[in-house]
């Protein structure tokens, strides 16, 4: 077996050193009733690399990749061009095959890029401090609510009807099993919701999304003020981080915690994961933050270096009193993010955002010109909602039959709500082309 270096002679010699007759003797602590007599039956034996690769090519061949079809799907995961440099860098074994940087003297590479990552996230979100990443945006949003509950010592979270339905579901699930209240607003496809009136003295936080799940760009400055007046926190979720190149950041609107899905920068679609959660807050709340934090310090020679810090928040030190049970972050996805953002820089990131907005504007105008289609958004970044004259799910399915991947029917994420049956979410990034838009428009005209 190509991954196992020990030879039969090595094994024999090692057993002799140990003083055991066979490897079975080393497993003697396993109760006899639980010892399997041989290998597990019904499972195949090992394969060569060629056979493994073929098997996965067979899986791949049964899918329709966006690289081969007109593609306008977003809803929390966005298809962007990732420069080749990113993937080459993250595949360097020194990054790929290293562990959490517990020994800082020999993990300065990981620690420095995470420190740079934390700085980039702070800058993008307009916040003071960011952690070294979360599993993804969706789990980060749920952790943000828990953090707000700890800070305010309250247990009622208000959830905007503009929040991604999966994010809402995770917060509701956590609320149910961890014992707090999550009060969700109705789905808000028009972008008209105003949660200010619902904020009261029991509210720990309000969770909103910008741009919203339905694409609307909102100013939450007044909501932030209302939250603060009531002693609550404002949590702003961003599922399309590229929007921060063009839209006023939540930090400048008064947000207390900002959570972003960072997938768009550096990380491919990957059928939903792994992605990378960005998590930023105010300095005064840093000790209630979940997740790893990297800080600057000096070594015994006075040289600048970086370490994991403030770990007295974390489970391996605090155990049942930890701020979160989180151990792993998304280190390598954070590396992909930071390498891509470093390539983009100020000018590239802003231009990327402008391109996305321009492509989506063009798509919105063309889709809205299809008879029977109504654009619901006055504002959007690179994604918007349209109302079709018939249910959206079969329309999307019919277009898929023509190898057009035409957005997400809202009913897939918000089932059993007739009010959203005809709604379709469409996204266009810098990867959208005329060769993709033309068949989409033609397809819509035929199917509707």
Least distance to other proteins, CB of residue 147, Å? 12
Number of amino acids touching other proteins (CB under 8 A): 216
| Owner of token pair 């979940």 | 290
Four-point Cα dihedral 158, 163, 169, 174, nearest 10: -50
Among 116, 188, 256, 421, binds other proteins (CB under 8 A): 116
Least distance to other proteins, CB of residue 350, Å? 8
> Of the two residues 67 and 435, which places its CB atom closer to other proteins in the complex?
67
Among 184, 227, 344, 388, binds other proteins (CB under 8 A): 344
Which x/- pattern over 202-221 shows residues binding other proteins (rule: CB under 8 A)? --------------xxxx--
Among 144, 224, 330, 426, binds other proteins (CB under 8 A): 330
> Of the two residues 5 and 418, which places its CB atom closer to other proteins in the complex?
5
Question: Could you give the CA distance from residue 207 to residue 221 in angstroms, rounded to a whole number?
Answer: 14
User: How deeply is 239 buried, as exposed, middle or buried, from its count of CB atoms within 10 A (0-12, 13-18, 19+)?
Assistant: buried
Among 21, 49, 201, 434, binds other proteins (CB under 8 A): 49
259 binds other proteins (CB under 8 A): no
21 binds other proteins (CB under 8 A): no
State how beta strands 257-261 and 277-281 pair.
Answer: antiparallel
Among 373, 405, 426, 447, binds other proteins (CB under 8 A): 405
Query: Using only C-alpha atoms, what is the Rg of the chain?
Result: 25
Phi, psi dihedrals of residue 274, rounded to the nearest 5° = -75, 145
Least distance to other proteins, CB of residue 211, Å? 9
390 binds other proteins (CB under 8 A): no
77 binds other proteins (CB under 8 A): yes
Least distance to other proteins, CB of residue 262, Å? 12
With contacts defined by CB under 8 A, name the span among 154-162, 194-202, 222-230, 405-413 that binds other proteins.
Answer: 405-413
Question: Could you give the CA distance from residue 208 to residue 135 in angstroms, rounded to a whole number?
Answer: 20
Question: Could you give the CA distance from residue 115 to residue 446 in angstroms, rounded to a whole number?
Answer: 52
Residue 129 in tokens: 């401090």
Question: Could you give the CA distance from residue 317 to residue 294 in angstroms, rounded to a whole number?
Answer: 16
Site for other proteins in 153-212 (CB under 8 A): 164-167, 169-170, 172-173, 176-179
292 binds other proteins (CB under 8 A): yes
Exposed e or buried b per residue across 213-227, where buried means at least 16 C-beta atoms within 10 angstroms of its C-beta: bbbbbbebeebbebb
3 binds other proteins (CB under 8 A): yes
Non-local CB neighbours of 218 within 8 Å, separated by 6+ positions? 162, 191, 208, 210, 211, 212, 379
Three-state DSSP at 323 gives: coil
> Residue 140 in contact with residue 133, Cβ under 8 Å?
no
Least distance to other proteins, CB of residue 264, Å? 12
Question: Could you give the CA distance from residue 127 to residue 285 in angstroms, rounded to a whole number?
Answer: 11
> Of the two residues 4 and 435, which places its CB atom closer to other proteins in the complex?
4
Beta-carbon-side half-sphere exposure of residue 77 (alpha carbons within 13 Å)? 18
With contacts defined by CB under 8 A, name the span among 151-159, 192-200, 228-236, 264-272 that binds other proteins.
Answer: 264-272
> Of the two residues 231 and 268, which places its CB atom closer to other proteins in the complex?
268
Question: Could you give the CA distance from residue 23 to residue 19 in angstroms, rounded to a whole number?
Answer: 11
Least distance to other proteins, CB of residue 413, Å? 8
Four-point Cα dihedral 232, 153, 173, 236, nearest 10: 30
Site for other proteins in 356-385 (CB under 8 A): 357-358, 361-362, 364, 377-381
Least distance to other proteins, CB of residue 442, Å? 19
Among 70, 79, 204, 376, binds other proteins (CB under 8 A): 79
Question: Could you give the CA distance from residue 303 to residue 257 in angstroms, rounded to a whole number?
Answer: 33
With contacts defined by CB under 8 A, name the span among 130-138, 152-160, 200-208, 436-444 that binds other proteins.
Answer: 130-138
Site for other proteins in 224-243 (CB under 8 A): none
> Residue 215 in contact with residue 385, Cβ under 8 Å?
yes
Report CA 254 to chain centroid distance, whole Å: 23
Least distance to other proteins, CB of residue 370, Å? 19
Give the number of other CB atoms < 10 A from CB of residue 262.
33
> Of the two residues 45 and 197, which places its CB atom closer to other proteins in the complex?
45
Sheet with 383-387, side-by-side order of all strands: 374-375, 383-387, 423-427, 408-409
Among 4, 192, 197, 435, binds other proteins (CB under 8 A): 4
């Amino acid at each position: 077996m190509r991954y196992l270096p020990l030879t039969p002679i090595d094994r024999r010699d090692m057993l002799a050193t140990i003083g055991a007759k066979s490897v079975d003797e080393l497993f003697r602590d396993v109760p006899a009733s639980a010892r399997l007599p041989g290998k597990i039956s019904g499972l195949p034996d090992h394969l060569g690399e060629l056979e493994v690769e073929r098997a996965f090519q067979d899986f791949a061949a049964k899918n329709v990749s966006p690289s081969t079809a007109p593609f306008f799907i977003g809803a929390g995961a966005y298809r962007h061009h990732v420069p080749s440099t990113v993937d080459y860098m993250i595949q360097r074994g020194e990054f790929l095959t290293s562990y959490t940087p517990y020994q800082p003297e020999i993990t300065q590479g990981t620690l420095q890029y995470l420190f740079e990552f934390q700085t980039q996230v702070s800058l993008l979100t307009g916040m003071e401090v960011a952690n070294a990443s979360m599993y993804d945006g969706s789990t980060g949003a749920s952790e943000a609510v828990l953090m707000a509950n700890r800070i305010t010592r309250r247990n009622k979270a208000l959830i905007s009807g503009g929040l991604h339905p999966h994010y809402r579901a995770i917060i509701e699930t956590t609320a149910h099993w961890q014992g707090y209240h999550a009060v969700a607003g109705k789905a808000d496809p028009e972008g008209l919701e105003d949660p200010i009136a619902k904020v009261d003295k029991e509210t720990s936080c309000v969770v909103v999304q910008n741009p919203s799940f339905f694409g609307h760009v909102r100013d939450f400055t007044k909501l932030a003020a209302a939250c603060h007046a009531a002693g609550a926190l404002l949590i702003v979720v961003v599922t399309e981080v590229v929007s921060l190149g063009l839209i006023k950041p939540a930090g400048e609107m008064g947000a207390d915690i900002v959570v972003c899905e960072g997938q768009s920068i550096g990380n491919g679609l990957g059928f939903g994961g792994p992605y990378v959660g960005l998590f930023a807050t105010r300095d005064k709340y840093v000790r209630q933050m979940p997740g790893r934090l990297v800080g600057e310090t000096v070594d015994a020679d006075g040289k600048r270096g970086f370490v994991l810090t403030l770990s007295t928040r974390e489970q391996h030190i605090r155990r049942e009193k930890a701020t979160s049970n989180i151990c792993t972050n998304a280190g390598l996805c954070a590396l992909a993010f930071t390498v891509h953002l470093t390539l983009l820089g100020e000018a590239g990131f802003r231009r990327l955002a402008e391109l996305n907005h321009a492509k989506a504007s063009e798509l919105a105008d063309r889709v809205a010109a299809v008879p029977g289609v109504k654009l619901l958004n006055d504002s959007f970044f690179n994604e918007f909602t349209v109302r079709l004259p018939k249910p959206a799910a079969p329309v999307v399915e019919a277009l898929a039959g023509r190898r057009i991947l035409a957005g997400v029917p809202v009913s897939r994420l918000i089932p059993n709500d007739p009010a959203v049956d005809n709604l379709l979410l469409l996204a266009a990034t810098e990867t959208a082309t005329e060769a993709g838009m033309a068949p989409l428009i033609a397809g819509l005209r035929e199917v509707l």
